[in-house]
Amino acid sequence: MTVRSRISGIGMYVPERVLTNADLERMVDTSDTWIQDRTGVRERRIAADDETASTMGIQAARQALEQAEVDPKDLDLVITATTSPDGMFPAVASRIQDGLGATGAGAFDVNAACVGFLSGLATATQFIATGAYERILVVGTELLSRIVDWSDRTTCVLFADGAGAVVVEAGGQGGPLSFVLHSDGSGAQTLYADGPCGVPNGLEPDGYYISMDGRHIFKFAVQAMDSATRESVEMAGLDLSDIDLMIPHQANLRIINATTKALGMPPERAMVNVDRYGNTSSASIPIALREAWEQGRLHEGDRIAFVTFGGGLVWGAMIFEWVPVGPLRPVAEPVHATASGN
């Protein structure tokens, strides 16, 4: 018998520093009008020097655990999605597991670019469906500002830092009704960031910066999110009109609007916060989910469509039936890095 799963807690963390479009005008050849017309972004968050993917992930995870009223020691597994880890290894998930005191949990990372959180959530629900685990923490955390070329106006206006997390538990009603995950590795060079393992003879390049073919990615993103949403809706035995809220990857407002138009969905049915946070890659969906909950946009029985795309090229969607989560709780003090990374 398949075990149902539900999200029992949602957390988010964004750094204190706000980088506005006006700030970027002083750094690179761009303007507030140019940025907003092409991306919809007004401002984004940039991590402090002593923050890492793991410290931001710990912060978001604590909020999710507090809302779910789950002791970290009761977690079975920590899955972390990131493309900007503290280092090559250990996994960011292991650092988060240690920082939380989740002494009974296993931990591993998922790197599927901006589809990372959805991949981690799908993995968590499958562990629960088989009865292998009962409580899993899924974190999406990114420190993209450290792999952005701040002289490249096509990318530096988009990417930013932040973390989101959910606690997934067995039992109850609701949960995933369907999900799809896809990849086309032939498009890898249209959106990528190099790393030390790909550099011959150990030679260090000027930087492992994000590189993106914006025009290609725009066309791909709209087609991919449209098709993935339709596929997952059909798998769930639903119609597009049955979707109460879409929580898309917050990459670009034009992509989100073009996707809702392609789906015949009213634009107000999509959760949007890219204007305030930019593209936080694998953190964008859980951050948007937390804010959707805070805004009272999640109701019992709602059918939510999570949909995303990213470098790989990868794309996917999940239809999730919502059940209520716990009350809003105070946010803990920010976590800062130590010599061990926790």
Asked if 197 is an active-site residue, the reply is no
Closest CA to 316 of 141, 155, 110: 110
Q: Considering 21, 156, 252, 279, which one is annotated as catalytic?
A: 279
Asked if 114 is an active-site residue, the reply is yes
Alpha carbon 273 to chain centroid, angstroms: 13
Closest CA to 217 of 83, 282, 310: 310
- What is the chain's percent helix, strand, coil content, to nearest 5? 40, 25, 35
Asked if 252 is an active-site residue, the reply is no
Closest CA to 133 of 170, 104, 100: 170
Q: Considering 21, 156, 249, 342, which one is annotated as catalytic?
A: 249
Q: Considering 21, 114, 156, 342, which one is annotated as catalytic?
A: 114
Tell me the chain's radius of gyration from C-alpha atoms: 19
Cβ neighbors of 191 (< 8 A, separation 6 or more) are 113, 210, 211, 212, 213, 217, 310, 311, 312, 313
Q: Report yes or no: 326 and 9 within 8 Å, Cβ to Cβ.
A: yes
Catalytic positions: 114, 249, 279
